[in-house]
A and B are shown apart, each in its own frame.
Chain A
């Protein structure tokens, strides 16, 4: 089954404690991206990757890092989480480098206290 898998689904952490949210897709997609969803603001793009070792900033990259060492994985790293990073995070992938017919993960609800 074609899918994008995020882990964990729920996470509560403390300010400053480094964390990683994993994202994996089994469709051999080139394009992957991360978003955060906040009430009243919609989904905002954090980072995207067009292929292995090729990443670039979206609209809200501050406080986040990503890496793309393998085609299937695109982890989101928060080196020093802060309460304003409390949000619902989504990972997405698509076959082509144009966000066409994107597949989304189930989401990760992160709370930073």
Chain B
């Protein structure tokens, strides 16, 4: 059974810092991995999708990497802003790609 872990559970940084969020998974036979953002009282917003054959994806100040062999993904946020404050979740599609397993998330606070 796939298990997804995100460390740390919470992170507080001053505005302008570059930061890295971590996601690890136990079964490397994945179809894809996605990073989501969740704001309080709202649904999830897809940030980046990495297919199993890819190593990284970039969107603006966000860069996500994938190392299937080690079961790890990182989300790099450059020049953090207070508007980046949210909970970040990673999700792995595996087991025939229809099944999705989420991590428990990292709650990020960017202090002005």
Contact = CB atoms under 8 A, between A and B. Distances in A.
To the question of whether A and B form a pair in one complex, the answer is yes
Interface of A: 4, 31, 33, 35, 40-45, 48, 50, 56, 58-59, 90, 92, 97-107
A99 B91 contact: yes
Given A42-B105, A106-B43, A100 B32 contact: yes
A33 B44 contact: no
B93 interface: yes
A107 B87 CA distance: 15
Interface stretch (B10-18, B60-68, B73-81, B96-104): B96-104
Contacts, number: 66
A106 B40 CA distance: 10
Max count, chain B CB within 10 A of own CB: residue among A4, A98, A101, A103: A98
B45 interface: yes
B2 to A, nearest CB: 9
Taking each of A33, A90, A92, which has the highest tally of chain B beta carbons within 10 Å of its own beta carbon? A92
A45 B44 contact: no
Interface string B1-44: 10010000000000000000000000000011010100001111
Nearest to A97: B98
Contacts of B89: 42-43
B53 interface: no
A11 B42 CA distance: 16
B105 to A, nearest CB: 6
Interface residues of B, number: 25
Contact of A98 (B36, B46, B97, B104): B97
A99 B93 contact: yes
Nearest to B6: A42
Contacts of A105: 43
B49 interface: yes
Given A41-B104, A42-B103, A48-B98, A98 B93 contact: yes
A101 B49 contact: yes
Given A35-B102, A40-B104, A42-B102, A104 B97 contact: no
A45 B99 contact: yes
Given A42-B89, A98-B31, A98-B93, A59 B99 contact: yes
